[in-house]
């Protein structure tokens, strides 16, 4: 690992930990993603994490608040720009939407049911994002 990679690993650790502490399973390799997707039954919430400010101030807080109200069967995350292979592999499962980070995907039995791209996160109040995601999760988990 070069000095830059080592530096970034340390910088992003709290950003990773925020979701892990909320109950998310971190998928850091393409193999992790494929193993998860092969067995993902029910509703999965996938967060494509990022170092940007809208991930820190909006996406992660909104996700944490939404899952306090409605908890899907699975909580997983990949980290864009850090775990490149895992992120690319996960995005391959919903190629119909443009890559964006941060972003939030709701899957049912491994199939994309709903997607919230960065454009619906950045510039919106955290309460609005939380409400949006909570509504999506309520609908997905009620089926």
Catalytic annotation, residues: 52, 54
Nearest to 133 by CA among 53, 62, 50: 62
If one counts every other C-beta atom within 10 angstroms of the C-beta of residue 123, the result is 9
Residues 135 and 66: their CA atoms lie apart, in Å, by 9
Residues 80 and 99: their CA atoms lie apart, in Å, by 10
Residues 109 and 43: their CA atoms lie apart, in Å, by 7
Strand duo 103-108 + 111-116: pairing? antiparallel
If one counts every other C-beta atom within 10 angstroms of the C-beta of residue 4, the result is 8
If one counts every other C-beta atom within 10 angstroms of the C-beta of residue 127, the result is 11
């Amino acid at each position: 690992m070069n000095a830059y990679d080592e530096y970034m690993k340390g910088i992003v650790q709290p950003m990773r930990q925020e979701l892990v502490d909320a109950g998310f399973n971190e998928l850091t390799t393409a193999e992790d993603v494929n193993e998860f997707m092969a067995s993902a039954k029910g509703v999965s919430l996938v967060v494509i994490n990022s170092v940007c400010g809208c991930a820190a101030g909006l996406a992660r807080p909104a996700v944490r608040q939404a899952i306090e109200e409605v908890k899907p069967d699975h909580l997983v995350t990949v980290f864009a720009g850090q775990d490149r292979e895992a992120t690319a592999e996960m995005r391959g499962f919903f190629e119909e939407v443009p890559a964006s980070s941060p972003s939030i995907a709701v899957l049912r039995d491994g199939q994309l049911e709903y997607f919230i791209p960065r454009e619906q996160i950045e510039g919106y109040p955290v309460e609005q994002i939380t409400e949006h995601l909570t509504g999506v999760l309520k609908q997905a988990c009620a089926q």
